[in-house]
Chains A and B, each alone.
Chain A
Amino acid sequence: MKSNLPELIDKHEKALLAEWLEQQKAAGAGDLAGEEELRTLSGRFLAAFQEGIRSGQSADIGTAAWAPAREVLDDVSRQRALRGATSSQTATFVFSVKSPLFNLLRRELGKDAERLAQETWTTTLIIDKLGLYTTEVFQKSREDIISRQQQEMLELSTPVVQLWEGVLAVPLIGTLDSERTQVVMENLLERIMSSGADIAIIDITGVPTVDTLVAQHLLKTISAARLMGADCIISGIRPQIAQTMVHLGVDLNVVSKATMADAFALALKRLGQAVVNRAATNGL
């Protein structure tokens, strides 16, 4: 049975919109968005909603006919996620349209009980689906925001330092997982390119354990640096780490030193540089 809802919405759009905005504000939407914005979003949604119903595809909101409606909800969810709203505050945008819509249906179809029941049922099913879609998108947006923040923290916690002309140092703090390794590699390689470094000292003093997985990540980083023409020296090997590595059969295939100072001295030596004690040489 074809729905008359789109025509009814057309006929009473102004009143419907006003009633819906009241509902939203009563639910606290005023804290999340200005009047203008709510009005625009609500208007867009009603238009998209009509389009969806007109297509006759009421069972599946994933179809192309419902794309405009989903787009409005995407925008609402993302905005609210950014503003720190809760999941239900976001879904309220959609669910609060039920009451005005049902009032409209009752007023217009009150005499035809069967039609009223049918339209109300179909409408509630669609609104529920759209409401759920909103919460899904909201969740995803929150996850994206959190993951972006994690990424930023990751980048801040893996600085690459230039110790000397041609010598870079990467002090790793914490476990080296595959995500961290990607960030380390990207930062290190960019720096090798911009500073023209020949040697990169990777300090693992702050890495709690070196098992086969961590070793693989280190190997990847070393290989990547080498492809860009920089040799690596590992420093900060604690006695336990040395033991674990041997027991696991891990071979990093680079020179490794216990302290960064030793690694730095080696780096200088390789570059043909030396640090000299002035007083000793001048006979002061």
Chain B
Amino acid sequence: MIVEKDEAVPVRVGDDVVRARQAVRALATAAGFSLVDQTKIITAASEIARNTVDYGGGGDLRLELLRDGGRRGVRLTFTDQGPGIADVEQALKDGYTSGGGLGLGLGGARRLVGEFAINSSPGRGTKVTLTRWK
């Protein structure tokens, strides 16, 4: 597997979420994703980006354009040094309850991409990796 493009953008404030989406759109277009697939991965990225800003105290997004044999993919890695998530399993289950619940959007984001990985623990920050192949 080869990494054809590798760039990083900061995800610190609200406006960065918009910039992150634009960067993901550009990468997804380069990978040749259909409109629906682009929308899915950008939406997933938006969810995680907002988490990074709102709960993670700000962090970074690494965007990679992958090539494996003939097919292309996009890999997004969000990292922050925030408080971390105590119960990842629970966070993944949290839905979009209009009342309580954190509604972190992790579960939703996972459904939108092919591969999803999360590394988080209290005091150690959070790292979320989203990958989608064409």
Contacts and interface: CB of A to CB of B under 8 A. Distances in A.
Q: A and B touching (C-beta < 8 Å)?
A: yes
Interface of A: 62, 67, 74, 77-78, 136-137, 139-141, 143-144, 182, 186
Contacts of A78: 70
Contacts of B69: 136-137, 139-140
B36 interface: yes
B2 A140 contact: no
A78 B71 CA distance: 12
Interface string B1-31: 1100000000000000000000000000000
Interface in B50-92: 68-71
Nearest to A64: B2
Nearest to A63: B2
Interface SS, B side:
mixed
A182 B36 contact: yes
Contacts of A139: 69
Given A140-B71, A141-B70, A144-B70, A62 B36 contact: no
A186 B39 CA distance: 13
Interface residues of B, number: 7
Nearest to B36: A186
20 contacts: A62-B1, A62-B2, A67-B2, A74-B70, A77-B70, A78-B70, A136-B69, A137-B69, A137-B70, A139-B69, A140-B68, A140-B69, A140-B70, A140-B71, A141-B70, A143-B70, A144-B70, A144-B71, A182-B36, A186-B36
A82 to B, nearest CB: 12
Contacts of B36: 182, 186
Contacts of A77: 70
A6 to B, nearest CB: 23
Nearest to A145: B70
B92 to A, nearest CB: 19
Nearest to A133: B69
Contacts of B70: 74, 77-78, 137, 140-141, 143-144
| Ranked 3 nearest A-B pairs via Cβ | A140-B70, A140-B69, A141-B70
Contacts of A62: 1-2
A86 B36 CA distance: 34
Contacts of B71: 140, 144
Contacts of B1: 62
Contacts of A182: 36
A102 to B, nearest CB: 29
A198 B54 CA distance: 39
A74 B4 CA distance: 15
**B1, B36, B68, B70 pick with most chain A CB within 10 angstroms:** B70
